[in-house]
């Protein structure tokens, strides 16, 4: 019995190690004003080798061992050597779009990646995708198709969730002047031409600046959260069906000035959002307890768990180390939430959490698909 117990423990630890090793795809971040982080050691380490400059959105991808493959701000693509790829200019995202780019591996391929892009503030270029082949240019990659049209106008929201079959993807965005979330299936056959529409929640529309704000999935892909940016703005929490691509059961958190960033805790029990309080001139991080009970209880659980010294904070991004990183506009540091599964002030927030080697953060952090592993 003791031997069996030890074997069981060894098996669990082995699985944990495998899971940790499999997260290398998210280990290199490039964002802001030539800022970067690598997670290829025991802790996050700032790097200064990036060439990307962006006010908001960016995306990056590494291999399963944490070796950088390429990164983009939605208009230009750089390879692992930090050089612009062949045909790597002219993508129709915008570096001032919240989620200007998203990288998704093509199911069934070891070399093909899709780069999805969103235009600035619901402009006419809309949602598009380009195709990158890593077998080209001596393994450094080349864009072989660019800017295939998907839908317009769309907000600046863009994310992806693994299909319940464990192989395919759902790429999610939101129509402009509509309450429709849109889910495009990505499979071995390519990107579906017709999306699944879910008319739920609030209408995302009005002044074009209301197209601003993040859309993020929970770690298990069963929930979505959106930030609807405005002077008097909201967060939206929804259910997502990984089998059908349908979005449902919206819960609205009202009355937050400049709601922008969004992130779930690693265990999915907490939701975080960033707001910028014009009365105090300080950025704030709000936490919602998703295990508080019914929707009313979840709404009432909202509490400010951290205040930044920066007047403007932006993206929230869960790192491979289980910490949530906070973008501080035009700042030499990122904020860090060290214990995001905890409740209230027990989260332990440090405003000057990670120094960026003289580079500066802006509003965005890299955009990743949920469960990016191949």
Q: What is the pLDDT of residues 244-272, one digit of tens each?
A: 999 999 999 998 999 999 999 999 999 99
Task: Give 164-171's long-range contacts (Cβ < 8 A, gap of 24+).
Answer: 164/242, 164/243, 167/107, 167/108, 168/107, 169/104, 169/107, 169/369, 170/196, 170/240, 170/242, 170/245, 171/102, 171/104, 171/116
Q: CA 127 to CA 94: how far, in whole Å?
A: 11
Say how far residue 63 (Cα) sits from the centre of its chain. Answer: 18
34: helix, strand or coil:
coil
**Is residue 195 within 8 Å of residue 184, measured between CB atoms?**
yes
**Is residue 288 within 8 Å of residue 275, measured between CB atoms?**
no
Q: CA 301 to CA 288: how far, in whole Å?
A: 5
**Is residue 124 within 8 Å of residue 211, measured between CB atoms?**
no
pLDDT at residue 291, as a whole number: 97
pLDDT at residue 373, as a whole number: 64
Looking at residue 189, what DSSP letter applies? T
What Rg value do the Cα atoms of the chain yield, rounded? 19
211: its two tokens: 């197209």
pLDDT at residue 279, as a whole number: 78
Kindly give the parts of the chain with pLDDT less than 50.
1-22
pLDDT at residue 231, as a whole number: 76
| Domain at 2-355, CATH homologous superfamily | YVTN repeat-like/Quinoprotein amine dehydrogenase (2.130.10.10)
pTM exceeding the 0.85 threshold for the entire prediction: yes
Name the one residue in this structure whose structure tokens are 């929201």: 157
277: helix, strand or coil:
strand
Positive or negative torsion for Cα 105, 108, 111, 117? negative
Closest residue by Cα to residue 272 from 334, 343, 331, 180: 343
Work out the end-to-end distance of the chain between its first and last CA atoms, rounded to an integer number of angstroms.
37
């Amino acid at each position: 019995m003791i031997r069996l117990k030890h074997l069981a423990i060894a098996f669990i630890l082995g699985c944990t190690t495998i899971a940790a090793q499999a997260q290398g795809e998210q280990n290199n971040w490039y964002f802001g004003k030539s800022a970067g982080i690598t997670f290829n050691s025991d802790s996050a380490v700032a790097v200064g080798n990036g060439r990307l400059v962006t006010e908001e959105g960016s995306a990056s991808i590494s291999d399963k061992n944490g070796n950088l493959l390429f990164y983009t701000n939605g208009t230009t693509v750089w390879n692992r050597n930090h050089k612009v790829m062949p045909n790597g200019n002219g993508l129709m995202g915008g570096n001032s779009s919240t989620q200007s780019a998203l990288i998704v591996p093509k199911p069934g391929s070891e070399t093909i990646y899709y780069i999805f892009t969103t235009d600035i503030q619901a402009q006419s270029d809309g949602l598009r995708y380009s195709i990158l082949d890593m077998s080209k240019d001596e393994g450094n990659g080349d864009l072989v198709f660019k800017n295939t049209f998907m839908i317009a106008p769309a907000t600046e929201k863009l994310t992806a969730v693994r299909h319940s079959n464990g192989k395919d993807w759902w790429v999610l965005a939101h129509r402009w002047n509509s309450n429709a979330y849109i889910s495009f299936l990505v499979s071995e056959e390519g990107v579906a031409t017709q999306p699944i529409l879910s008319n739920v929640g609030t209408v995302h529309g009005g002044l074009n600046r209301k197209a601003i704000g993040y859309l993020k999935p929970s770690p298990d892909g069963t929930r979505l959260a959106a930030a609807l940016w405005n002077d008097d703005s909201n967060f939206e929490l929804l259910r997502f069906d990984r089998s059908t691509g349908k979005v449902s059961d919206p819960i609205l958190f009202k009355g937050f000035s400049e709601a922008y960033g969004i992130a779930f805790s690693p265990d999915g029990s907490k939701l975080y959002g960033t707001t910028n309080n014009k009365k105090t001139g300080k950025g704030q991080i709000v936490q919602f307890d998703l295990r508080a009970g019914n929707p009313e209880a979840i709404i009432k659980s909202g509490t400010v768990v951290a205040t930044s010294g920066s007047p403007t904070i932006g993206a929230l991004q869960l790192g491979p180390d289980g910490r949530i990183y906070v973008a501080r506009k035009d700042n030499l540091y990122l904020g860090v939430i060290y214990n995001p599964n905890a409740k209230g002030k027990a989260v332990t927030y440090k405003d000057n959490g990670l120094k960026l080697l003289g580079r500066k953060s802006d509003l965005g952090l890299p955009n990743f698909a949920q469960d990016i592993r191949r």
